[in-house]
């Protein structure tokens, strides 16, 4: 009897070990979390920073909490100018920023900033840019080779128009000729020059007093700036349609991505595309409608180029496309591809 009792105790002990070393280890592996250092180029009150809170929630839900983020708002860990280089080196794991900031490093990346490229078809352009096709493969190859980065998605954000200082209206392309037009450099400045305006470069923080004092007559800027930066107090007109839509991009360091299990990689890519489309097609257009209503209540007048002026503007801005195509063989090929694709839209 005593021997049987000892045997039973031994069996129970072995079963306990099996649970501990079998199921216990498996549960531990299943519950492992992966924390990613994630820097954005947006301050915590920026509408795009707020959109990323939805992305974080979606990743948490999709991965069951296995992927977490340590988020750094604009310039908190590294400066905006150095952030893609920091991503390349692995100082940060993920980055949300504008490809236009890094044109000198990866010119292929900011084709989504080109004049009128997504006018009237945000959804179609987003789907084309983010599909598995020759166009997107050129972009991915460029980021992989030049920045050690995987582009998870791009986001079509704020619509840029002409914000007029005071009550001055700019209803035609000709009305922009010879005016002092604030442009942020890069594509902005080339657009301003192509219109015949005199581009003025200044930081965002300098715009309000510049409008107030007449240092600039108008700016290429986004409607939400009228509210968020209080430009509505010194600028009472906004002219569309958007000459371009500023685009945000979400990258992950390739080494950081490779360390994730395959199922987590797939989930992260899936969420990025779903969230990116939502932000591009629903969140930002909805936000801009709210902004327009708010601005009109504050006395801002919204104007639109007519069809003839849009056509004239597109013609005037062809040199901007030519410049972009000359930046690299990849840029040239993407221009050919998107021009052909737009004919289907």
pLDDT digits (tens, 9 = 90+) for 279-289: 999 999 999 99
Contact status, residue 334 vs residue 111, Cβ threshold 8 Å: yes
Say if residue 301's pLDDT is above 80.
Answer: yes
| Residue-level pLDDT at 37 | 98
For the purposes of burial, counting CB atoms within 10 Å of the CB of 306, is it exposed (0-12), middle (13-18) or buried (19 or more)?
Answer: exposed
Mean pLDDT computed over 262-290: 97
Mean pLDDT computed over 210-217: 95
Rounded-to-integer distance, Cα 68 and Cα 87, Å: 18
State how beta strands 34-40 and 94-97 pair.
parallel
Of the chain, the percentage scoring pLDDT greater than 70 comes to 91
| Residue-level pLDDT at 286 | 96
| Residue-level pLDDT at 10 | 46
| Residue-level pLDDT at 31 | 60
Rounded-to-integer distance, Cα 144 and Cα 194, Å: 33
Rounded-to-integer distance, Cα 66 and Cα 81, Å: 31
Mean pLDDT computed over 244-259: 96
CA dihedral for 318, 322, 327, 329, sign (positive or negative): positive
Tokens 């700019």 locate to 170
Confidence of residue 336 (pLDDT cuts 50, 70, 90): very high
Say if residue 322's pLDDT is above 80.
Answer: yes
Confidence of residue 5 (pLDDT cuts 50, 70, 90): low
Mean pLDDT computed over 160-165: 96
Say if residue 109's pLDDT is above 50.
Answer: yes
**Average pLDDT of the residues of the chain:** 91
Say if residue 145's pLDDT is above 90.
Answer: yes
Contact status, residue 38 vs residue 96, Cβ threshold 8 Å: yes
User: Per residue in 44-97, pLDDT tens?
Assistant: 999 999 999 999 999 999 999 999 999 999 999 999 999 999 999 999 999 999
Tell me the chain's radius of gyration from C-alpha atoms.
25
For the purposes of burial, counting CB atoms within 10 Å of the CB of 116, is it exposed (0-12), middle (13-18) or buried (19 or more)?
Answer: middle
| Residue-level pLDDT at 184 | 83
| Residue-level pLDDT at 250 | 98
Mapped onto helix, strand or coil, the DSSP state of residue 66 is coil
Mean pLDDT computed over 309-324: 97
3-state helix, strand, coil in the chain (%, to 5): 55, 20, 25
């Amino acid at each position: 009897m005593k021997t049987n009792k000892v045997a039973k105790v031994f069996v129970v002990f072995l079963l306990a070990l099996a649970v501990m070393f079998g199921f216990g280890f498996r549960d531990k592996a299943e519950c492992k979390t992966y924390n990613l250092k994630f820097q954005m180029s947006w301050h915590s009150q920026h509408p795009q920073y707020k959109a990323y809170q939805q992305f974080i929630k979606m990743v948490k839900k999709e991965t069951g909490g296995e992927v977490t983020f340590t988020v750094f708002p604009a310039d908190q860990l590294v400066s905006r100018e150095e952030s893609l280089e920091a991503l390349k080196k692995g100082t940060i794991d993920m980055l949300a920023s504008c490809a236009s900031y890094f044109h000198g490093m990866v010119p292929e990346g900011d084709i989504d900033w080109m004049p009128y490229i997504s006018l009237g078809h945000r959804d179609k352009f987003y789907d084309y840019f983010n599909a598995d096709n020759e166009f997107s493969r050129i972009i991915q190859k460029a980021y992989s080779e030049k920045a050690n980065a995987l582009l998870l998605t791009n986001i079509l954000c704020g619509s840029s128009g002409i914000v007029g200082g005071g009550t001055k209206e700019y209803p035609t392309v000709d009305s922009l000729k010879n005016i002092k037009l604030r442009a942020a450099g890069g594509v902005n400045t080339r657009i301003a020059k192509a219109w015949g305006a005199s581009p003025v470069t200044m930081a965002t923080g300098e715009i309000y007093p510049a409008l107030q004092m007449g240092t600039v007559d108008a700016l290429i800027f986004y409607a939400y700036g009228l509210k968020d930066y209080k430009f509505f107090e010194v600028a009472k007109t906004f002219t569309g349609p958007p000459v371009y839509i500023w685009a945000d991009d979400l990258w992950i360091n390739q080494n950081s991505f490779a360390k994730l299990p395959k199922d987590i990689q797939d989930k992260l890519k899936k969420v990025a595309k779903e969230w990116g489309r939502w932000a591009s097609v629903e969140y930002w257009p909805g936000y801009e409608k709210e902004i327009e209503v708010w601005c009109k209540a504050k006395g801002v007048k919204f104007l639109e180029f007519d069809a003839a002026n849009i056509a004239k503007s597109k013609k005037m801005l062809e040199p901007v496309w030519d410049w972009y195509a000359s930046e690299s063989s990849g840029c040239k090929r993407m221009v050919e591809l998107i021009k052909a694709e737009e004919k289907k839209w």
